[in-house]
Amino acid sequence: MFNFLAKSLFVTVVWRQYKRLIISSLLLFASYYLIGFMHDDYLEYATTAEGTRSIAGAYLLKWAALLLVSAGYYFVNFPLPFLGKNTRHTQQSPSQKEKNRPRGIKPPVDESDPFENIRRKKNLKGKGDRVLGDENEGV
């Protein structure tokens, strides 16, 4: 029972994390297979009906399709950073969030907030600053 739950939990976590990559990889391999199958079918037709005139074009078309599908796969799964913002991996620091907040709106101030005076200080000093503060006064 526990073994089944552990496996189910693992599969669920992996599926949630890598669903996009798994599905796109399966589609990539299926499209490779489909392109190869269509190419082989066309080669059989071309050799029996037309001879060897259009085989070079068939190979060029096959490799162009393979490159196009591969480029689409890499573009979907690994977007280039200069093409646009990737919001999935970027996180804003608190200072960036403060900059992005509309200027007219101030955060609500609670009068009973015991840390309000600490937030208004320009320089905060810790224990190390206080201990070293006496030694650094003469420097």
Report which of residues 118 and 111 the model is more confident about. Answer: 118
Residue 135: inside a domain: no
Rounded to whole angstroms, the Cα distance separating 131 from 3 reads: 55
Q: Is residue 86 part of a domain?
A: no
What range defines the domain where residue 72 resides? Answer: 13-79
Query: Does 87 fall in a domain?
Result: no
Is 57 inside a domain boundary? yes
* The total number of structural domains that make up the chain: 1
Query: From the CA atom positions of the chain, what is the Rg in Å?
Result: 31
Q: Is residue 138 part of a domain?
A: no
**Mean pLDDT to the nearest integer, 84-111:** 62
Domain membership of residue 48 (yes or no) is: yes
| pLDDT band at residue 28 under the 50/70/90 scheme | very high
Whether 66 is in a domain gets the answer yes
Mean local confidence (pLDDT), 74-86? 79
- Residue 129, both tokens: 């600053």
Instruction: Let me know if residue 131 belongs to a domain.
Output: no
